[in-house]
Every structure is written in structure tokens, then in C-alpha cells.
Structure 1
Amino acid sequence: MKKSLTIFLATIIFLSIVIGFVYAIDAKGNQDEYSVLIFNGEIDPPTLDPQLNTISHGSLIIYNMFEGLVKTNTRNEQTPGVAEKWEISDDGKQYKFFIRDDAKWSDGKAVTAYDFEYAWKRAVNPANAVKYVNHMFYLKNAKDIFDGKKPMEELGVEVVDEKTLIATLEAPVPYMLEMFSFGVYKPVREDIVEKNPDNWTTNPDTCISNGPFKMTEYKMNDRLTLVKDENYWDQDRVKLNELQFVFIEEEGTALSAFQAGEIDGLLNIPTQQIPTLMMESDEFFIKPRLRLTYAAFNVTAFPFDNIKVREAFTKSIDRQKIVDTVILTGEIPASGFVPHGLIVNGKDFREEGGNFGIQPTVMLEEAQKALAEAGYPNGEGWPKNVEYLYNTNDLNKKIAETLQEMWKKNLNVDVSLVNVESKVHSQRRHSGDFQIARAGWGADYNHPMTFLDLFTSEAGNNTPQYRKAEYDSLIEQAKLSTDPEKTIELLHKAEEMFMNDWAVCPISYATQPIMMKEHVKNWDLSPLGDINFDEIYIEK
């Protein structure tokens, strides 16, 4: 350890002599010299493609590499991004964006309206199997194009000229500006993507971005290095010179790296260390999140194709015990799919929607009755090799073991635990290769729709493999409604239908523990899980 430290210090001294490597900052955060922030990204995302990414680990990086027409900051404020201004039609169905003249790609080429048109059409093209395609269905004709009913030329996007873009919607959407800042709506370059559609984001030479940071090095499963993009239109505001994401999945190892000063921030924290960190560390924080942790039943797979089995499993767990003795970060037991905190028309959607009869503690009599009605009284005849799939993570393991114990104790059924690395877990969930799986969902924008359109038949992130025409109709009606009260009424009906089908077992409404070094200033984590690294500075 001493030898490593000596080599490290010698390297720093050498760099200081050669390039003047020092940290100098004034009280206002004006940083004059080279600064580096190292953040644990936990896992290397399957892709950094804005249209193809589906996981939060990828979103955190993409959020700081690519910029949409509109930006959403950690305070959920929408501000001009690539578009310096916009005009909205009186009926709320048309947005005219004016792209700033100094918006450039990291290779110096101008960002144009054609880049957005290409990206949006790419997302809607069914051949690309974009999981977030349902977010594109707000655009006029997008769903019909995806379903093969209309040609791509009829998509509600029009390039007036290189600096002017018109987006036409199916109906007014009160949160549409926020949607335009979301990953799937961000631009990509046709000449770059088409040369290497599957791997263009893995090489710094081809990963051309348009946000505050650009890629300079990518050692997969090890480290991703971004630097401040000198071509970014708002570069003078960006204080960090370099942003590194390291990929340390094991929580104990990540915490040790933080405590040793090897990294500046992390999100994956060992559960058993949380009580001590809460009392002793000024660098430990718990942030609110619009997120749900749940167990997803594959409603097409035996024995969870039986609604009564799903009901029994959902009612037989003690959510209060899980949040109090396992999770330990102030989460609350979940009773519906949409979490608390989404205020629409002045009302909290969760409070208005009720709890669907799901209690924080075990509903033993009802659970055992449902299992008997499913044909397994007291667990008799329960099939062998029923599996619960979860991804590598200390907390996920403890929750899985607790669920396994509760199902055994309260239903007298055996469930095997299958632990796989995160990429495999994601692939198996999306393909339906599981019986029960650990799952979680965080809001992409501040509206209940971000949780409920997840289970339409064509949604790419529909983990339970739930397909129901009546549900699809309710969601479509809600999206097309011009009456905000009617929209919420339809969404309440949709959630009630979904929950009554017992497609998921809600566990908890999440919080987010995070650690950040004291010298990292002006940072925040939004309820959506975003960090604006372009607002951060280092004070040494």
C-alpha cells in the first residue's frame, strides 16, 4: 500500500511540473486549473446509445454527454438546450424549435434539425426494437408507424431548415417539454451511427456527442473517461475538466475506494454500513426518489400464469419488516405501482388512488386462501424449481433471501434464488426468461404516466409480460385526452386494473443513498436520479 501511495504521489508531482496540475478555486466556484471528478458508475452499461439505453446506469452518463432540445435540471426546471427558444401553438399540439447557431457536435460539426429528425425516426422504426418507443407515441402518427399502418414520412417531425424543427403531437401533453429532454429524444448523427449501429458508442473516435462532456477513453468494465467538450455551446459554465466513471459493482469494494480517496462519489453502498454512515459521516446523504422496488411476476410463465398464485405471493410478505430491517434508508412499504410524490392537478396521485387492499404487514389468511384457490392448499403440490431472479447487489440479495423466507413461512412453498450479473438480469427480464424477478422503476418525468405506460402491450420495459387490450385502451385514451382531470381518472382506472391482475408484488417506495466527498460542490441528485455534473466544481 505504501509503495502504491508513493508511486501515486510521484506521478502527481510529475504531472504538476509538466502541465501545472493544481486545483485552484475561489469562493464562487470559478475554477482556473485542471479538475477531475471520479464517480462510481457501478456497472458498465450495455450501451450509451440515447435511443437504445434502458437502464439508469447508462442514463446517468448519457445525461451528461448528450443534450436535447430542452434541458431538465435536478430541480426539474426546463431550460433551453440545443434549442435557444421555442414556440407552442395555441392548441398545444405543435412545438417549433429554433436551434442555436453555436450548437456543435464534439467533432466541431454543427448540430442540425436533421439530427433530431434522424434520431426520432430511428427510435420509431420497429426494426431497431427501441425499448422506450412508447415515449415516442406522443408524436403524431408514431404509434401507427410503429405498428406498420403508416409510412415513416408521416411522423410528426418536420425540418423547416437546418436550424428549425417542428414537432407535431397527437394531443396536447402538459409535460412534453420535459419529454423533449429525455434520452430517446436526444439527437444522434446519421453518418456516425449508420457506419456502426451496434457499437458506435464504445470507441472515443466514433462516440460523437453534443453535451457538456465528451468521451476520450473507454476501458469496458473498468473505466470511462469524459472531458469537458470545447465545442459545447455553454462550455464556459462547465467547471470540471474531466469526469471519470469507474465500474465497481461490489458495494464493499466501492465504499473502500471512497474511503481511501480513490473515488469522489458513489450510489451503491453496503446496506449493513448505512446505520453507521448515517450517524458518523458528513459525506453520506439520503435523497428522495420517485422510484418503486418490486418483484415482477412473469404472467405468462407457470405457475405465475395463475392470478391466484400471484395474489398469494403478494399478500404473504411483510413490507414493513423489509424496509425497517433490510433496506434501512427510510423507505416506506409500497401498496400500488405509482409512488407518492407525483402531484397532478394539486393532488398526490398515490393518495388519491388508495392501496388496493395491500397492507404493510402480512395478510396471512387472505394469502393462504388465495394459494388454496390456486390449487396449492398449504403449499401442497407446489412445483419444484420455481426461481426468483435477481442481479448482483448486497441489498438485492438480502431482499431476495427475506422474500424467500417469508414465502416459505407463510405459504409453505419453496423458491430458489438465482443471482446473475446485471447485464444478464436485464436481458432475461426483457426477454421474459424468468418466473419471478427483482425489478425497480424510477420516473423518467414527473407524471404518473411514466409508471403506467410501462405495461402497455408494445412497451419495451414491460417486465411482467403483461398484455391486455383494455389496459392499452385506457392508457391511449389518457394520452389523447385534453382534459387533465379526465387523464388522471383514466390513469387511476388503469392502475386499478393492473393491480387487480396482481402482475407485480410492490415492495417499497425508494430513497437513494449517496456518498459524495466534501470537496465536491454544487451537486444534487434529482428525484429522477439525475446528476448535473456540468454544474459541479471541486474545492481543494
Structure 2
Amino acid sequence: MKSKKWLSSLLVATMVGTSAFAFVGCKDKNPEPAQNPGTDAPKPSETVKKDADQFLKLVFIEPSTLDPNEASDVDSFTIINATQEGLARVKVVNDEDKMEPAGAKSWEVSPDGLVWTFHLRENNKWSDGVPVTAQHYVDSFLRLLDKDKAFPYAYFVYEIKGAKAFNEGTGKKEDVGVVAKDDKTLQITLDRPTPYFEKKLNFTAFFPIRLDVIQKGGENWNTDHTKQVYCGPYKIKDWVRNNSISFEKNTDYWDAQNVYIQRVEMNDIQEFSTQAQLFESKELDVTGARQEYIEKWTEKAKKGEFVAGVGDTASSNYVGFNNEGGPSGIMNNKKVRLAFSMAFDREEYLKTLLGRYTPAYGWIPKALHSNKDMYRTVTKEPLKDMATDYVNKPEKIQALLKEGLKELGKDTSDLKNIKVKFVTYGDTAASKQSQEWWEQQFEKNLGIDLQMEVLGNYTLWKQAVDDMKFDIITYGWVGDFDDPINFLDMWVSNSGNNGLKFKNEEFDKLVNDLDKEVDPAKRLKAYQRMEEILVKEDAAFAPLYYGDTRRFLQNYVKDFMYPKFGPTYEWRWAYTEGR
């Protein structure tokens, strides 16, 4: 999103209770950021009787990378957020994200809004004893923008002076507006006033790095926890791939005395029924929920047995189409993609498979603001009326499909000859049920031959997606900060997060023009036009549902937080009392 945060595949939706998730403003491998159900819990103080043994047992989150510059999925963001720290950190207060000074103890902004000066903490150091300096931040920004490395979040800092030009190869790194004035003073100069710049300060792209450690670590540094140094509240103690990951408190952290949880254990739990049993027996401290458990546990929470967290999240899931054509060679046609967007019943999907969420006929989720208004309350969903006319009407959907196929010069006499590849992964009961549902929907409504390719794990699936070896996937995005641009600028032609290879000149121009637009009404109008292009006019993808949270915690877990933007979990301030 963070990703931004992305959802990895169609089965993610069915597995949301078994994995903490989202691309953060990221790719969402498992969607589940949320409001914090524990914000009303007592705050740590001398009068609170915290347990002598402070630990948490959570569901497994596996990062794709430990590299702050490379990270593009919410699982990686969550783990990196726990083990590293940037200029600021988000703390949930009264169910709202609040930016807290972290690696920087303070900052000020020039009157014109362009020059940001950050004063770093004197006692901040890495776990090997090396002080964290302003140059470590400068190194991070320049590495993020290195064109040859092609990091997906390079565009995220384009408001910095000279950043875009350097990243695109038309400028020099010396002209990028990030300077270490001294060891503890970082100065960032923007190309233009950016109202939401401060909202980005907690994002991993803004984290410091150690070039010496990266160089020494070699090719697998980004996935080997034994080669890391840490400046966050926790260190990775052990990591067994596809199985478990554990953390221990970083005693060298600048605020270690106010970090209470000593260790965190995350274990993979394939079936949600097993996860539910562990939670009910208090062998699991935090869980998501789906289908029949939502109602059951909500009632238990009302009786005081658990603590429940319910609310909308800044996340959207979608069915993605290969805009270059895909293995079938047909997904590069707008009408074909729109037909696929109309070929499934969103309400039935949620009712049958998930028992939660809100069906989406637009892209911007319910939790985002445009200026002072909630975006969805002032903007009609672009696909709502069309879906009413088309969904569950095979003849009408197939007529639209044939129009697109004829434009491609394809034979439409027998749609069964059209073979379309849907790439996913997972072999749990829930994921298999989901795969069968998609096959039935697309074959019934489109009359095509849907070929479901189920890969062995997320890594294989991600490689297939990166190689564009798909016609259809499911994915998701979780916001990095509270503005619709965070869900829109990822789709510009040259964005590293534009995994569907969508291209539209008008769309690119709208995004570029917003760089200089500060009028809220004009920005809203541009957002609405871009959303219309994405999901209806060009149908780059098909919106599936808007995210929400259904989280449950044991009563003894205090101040365990779910930021709306950034990591899925934040336990830096958490503690247990009365386990």
C-alpha cells in the first residue's frame, strides 16, 4: 500500500480469516487492516498490572521481502514495520490513525510548504550499535529511485524535487531534494506543495537503510533474516518458510522501555476452523472472522467474552485482467473485459463464500475521504446501473463479449472454443470452493472454457503474475494514506504497481495534472473521471468488494492496533493484562 497493499489471488478473499493481509497502498496478499478494537483499553501506567510474561500468539504473516525499498505487499509492510522504523509511526487513537514522531523526534515545514526539516533522535541506533543517521535516509531515497532497480514504489516519492526525473533517467541523483544537513538533520525539498505528504511519513519507502549491510548480505539479503540489522522495536528471531515466524524485543530500540511485548509467535493455520478452535481455547490471541463465526463471535463479544473490532477499511479487491491480451489473446479488448466484469454476481459471491464485505461497483473504497467528504457518499459507483442491467443475464453478457471478439477478428460461432486462463493458488476447502464458484460463473454467463490453473504457493503465483502468464487473477489494494489519489496513481502507464499493464493517455494526463491542482472540487472531479475510465470505460479490471474488518481479540490483549493505513498489525504499544 501498503501499498500499497495488494491482495494476491481470488482465494485470498476466502482465506482472510487465516492470514493478516493486502498490495500496502500496497498489494494485499490477505486483506484485513482495520479499526482498532482495543483503543478503549486501559493505557499502560504504573497502576496497570501487566502480566509478567508478555507475549502474543498470532496468525502467520509471511513477508515477500525484508527490503523496505522493494516491499509492495501488506504482509511485507507489516513485518518491516515491526522490525524497522522510519521518520514517523502510526498510532491508533480513538479509532483514528495519528502520526507519531518515531525516528524523527520533530520536524518543521517552510512557509511555502516545500522544505521539510526532520530532526532525528540522538539515541536511535541499529541493532549492531551503529547510529541511525540522516545519510541512511538519503541512501534509501536514492536507492528507491534508482531506475535500474525498478522498485515498484519509486513513484510514491515523486513530489520530492528531482525524484521523478532521476527515476526516469532524465535527471541526476545530485538534484534529488533529499539532503543530510548533518548526522541528525534530514532535509527534504518538494517540487510542489503536497497536502498529504505528512500522511506518507510512516510508509516503508521512507525508512532508512544500511548500504554496507545490503552489500555484505549478497543476493539473498532481502529474504534472509540472519543478514539484517534492525532499528525498530522488534527483531526477527526465527523464520521457517511457509510455516512460522517469531520476533523478539529489540533491546537497542530507542524507546525499548515502553515496548512491553517481549516475543511474538506467528504460525501458519491452513483451515479457519482450526484457527477458530485455537482462538476459542485462548491458544491464539487475535483472529479475523468469516461466515458463521462473525455472528457467533459478535454475540460473544457483546457478552464480554472477547473484544470485537468492526468497521470499513481502506481496501478494495478486484478481478484483474491482462490488458496486454494474456494467453487467450482476447483480454486486450475493452468490451471483452467489460463482459467479464458483468459475468459474475458480486452479491452472491459475498453471501456464498465470505459472509461479509460490501459488493463493489467502483474502485475507491468506503473508508477514504476526498477533502472533508467521504468519497463514496459524494460519488456514484460507475458500474452500479450497468450491473443491474447485465448481471445474471447470459444472453446480454455474451452479446457484449461477441462484440469485443469480432473487433479482434475472432470466430464467435462457438464461445466454448474461447479458452481463458484464471491463475490462482491454494488447496484449502475454502479456496477450492472459491475456484469452483468462478468456473461456474464465467462458464454459465459467458459460455467460454475457463481454465483454472492452481499453482502450489504464493511465490509461484506471484512469478506467473509478474511474467503476465494469466488472463484473469484476483488482487486487492490497501491504502497507504487517506486520499483517493493513493488508489489511482498506481495505474499510470509507468507505475511499478500497474501489474495489469493498463494504459490510457487521458488517465495519465489526469494524474499528471493533479500534481499542480490544489482545488478540492477540481480534484474530486478528476478522481471521478479516472474511476470511470478504470472500471467502466476501459474496464482495466472488475471491482469485486470493499474491505471491512471483523477482528476479535482476547480480553487480556490491550492496545493491539489495526491502522487504517500502513501495516495490518501494530503491536509496538501492546501489552497483556490478566492472561
Q: Distance in 2 between matches of 1:303 and 1:189?
A: 46
Please say if 1:45 is aligned against 2:63. Answer: yes
Please say if 1:530 is aligned against 2:568. Answer: yes
Letter in 2 for 1:333: P
Note closer, same or farther for the CA distance 1:28–1:240 as it changes in structure 2 (3 Å cut): farther
Is this contact kept in 1: 2:55–2:262, CA < 8 A? yes
Is this contact kept in 2: 1:86–1:98, CA < 8 A? yes
Deviations 1:192-235 (A, max 9, x none): 11212543354454311111112222333332222222221122
Please say if 1:254 is aligned against 2:254. Answer: no
Please say if 1:410 is aligned against 2:423. Answer: no
Q: Distance in 1 between matches of 2:493 and 2:226?
A: 38
More displaced stretch, 482-491 vs 444-453: 482-491
Note closer, same or farther for the CA distance 1:247–1:505 as it changes in structure 2 (3 Å cut): same
Q: Report the Cα offset of residue 459 of structure 1.
A: 1.6
Q: Report the Cα offset of residue 378 of structure 1.
A: 8.2
Identity of aligned residues (%): 26
Counterparts of 1:126-137 in structure 2, within 5 Å, are 126-137=147-158
Match of 2:539 in 1: 502
Counterparts of 1:72-91 in structure 2, within 5 Å, are 72-74=90-92, 75-91=96-112
Letter in 1 for 2:439: Q
Deviations 1:85-128 (A, max 9, x none): 11111121221101111111122221110110011111111222
Note closer, same or farther for the CA distance 1:470–1:248 as it changes in structure 2 (3 Å cut): same
Note closer, same or farther for the CA distance 1:490–1:85 as it changes in structure 2 (3 Å cut): same
Match of 2:3 in 1: none
More displaced stretch, 382-391 vs 392-401: 392-401
Q: Distance in 1 between matches of 2:165 and 2:271?
A: 44
Match of 1:370 in 2: 400
Q: TM-score, normalised by structure 2?
A: 0.82
Q: Distance in 2 between matches of 1:519 and 1:67?
A: 27
Q: Distance in 2 between matches of 1:136 and 1:422?
A: 28
Note closer, same or farther for the CA distance 1:199–1:257 as it changes in structure 2 (3 Å cut): farther
Partner of 1:479, secondary structure, is helix
Deviations 1:406-452 (A, max 9, x none): 22222222312222322222232233221000111111111111111
Please say if 1:293 is aligned against 2:314. Answer: no
Note closer, same or farther for the CA distance 1:312–1:138 as it changes in structure 2 (3 Å cut): same
Q: Report the Cα offset of residue 245 of structure 1.
A: 2.4
Is this contact kept in 1: 2:398–2:447, CA < 8 A? no
Q: Distance in 1 between matches of 2:86 and 2:45?
A: 31
Partner of 1:227, secondary structure, is strand
Partner of 1:432, secondary structure, is coil
Please say if 1:315 is aligned against 2:380. Answer: no
Match of 1:483 in 2: 519
Q: Report the Cα offset of residue 381 of structure 1.
A: 3.6
Counterparts of 1:360-509 in structure 2, within 5 Å, are 362-363=390-391, 364=393, 366-375=396-405, 380-392=414-426, 396-420=431-455, 421-499=457-535, 500-509=537-546
Is this contact kept in 1: 2:415–2:447, CA < 8 A? no
Q: TM-score, normalised by structure 1?
A: 0.88
Is this contact kept in 1: 2:561–2:570, CA < 8 A? yes
Q: Distance in 2 between matches of 1:86 and 1:230?
A: 26
Deviations 1:347-374 (A, max 9, x none): 2223333222435655336523311312
Deviations 1:313-337 (A, max 9, x none): 11222112222232212x1110111
Partner of 2:97, secondary structure, is coil
Partner of 2:551, secondary structure, is strand
Partner of 1:138, secondary structure, is coil
Note closer, same or farther for the CA distance 1:270–1:343 as it changes in structure 2 (3 Å cut): closer
Question: Structure 2: which 5+ runs fail to align?
Answer: 1-43
Match of 1:263 in 2: 284
Q: Distance in 1 between matches of 2:218 and 2:138?
A: 17
Deviations 1:39-97 (A, max 9, x none): 1124x222121111221111111121111112222331112111111111112122110
Deviations 1:256-290 (A, max 9, x none): 443454432234x5646545444456446544311
2:80 equivalent among 52, 57, 62: 62
Match of 1:17 in 2: none
Match of 1:170 in 2: 191
Q: Distance in 1 between matches of 2:220 and 2:48?
A: 37
Q: Distance in 2 between matches of 1:169 and 1:501?
A: 33
RMSD across aligned positions (CA): 2.5
Deviations 1:3-57 (A, max 9, x none): xxxxxxxxxxxxxxxxxxxxxx989545363311121124x22212111122111
Q: Report the Cα offset of residue 498 of structure 1.
A: 1.9
Letter in 1 for 2:441: M
More displaced stretch, 172-181 vs 25-34: 25-34
Partner of 1:506, secondary structure, is strand
Letter in 2 for 1:370: L
Q: Distance in 1 between matches of 2:368 and 2:180?
A: 35
Q: Distance in 1 between matches of 2:528 and 2:349?
A: 27
Number of aligned residue pairs? 513
Q: Report the Cα offset of residue 403 of structure 1.
A: 3.0
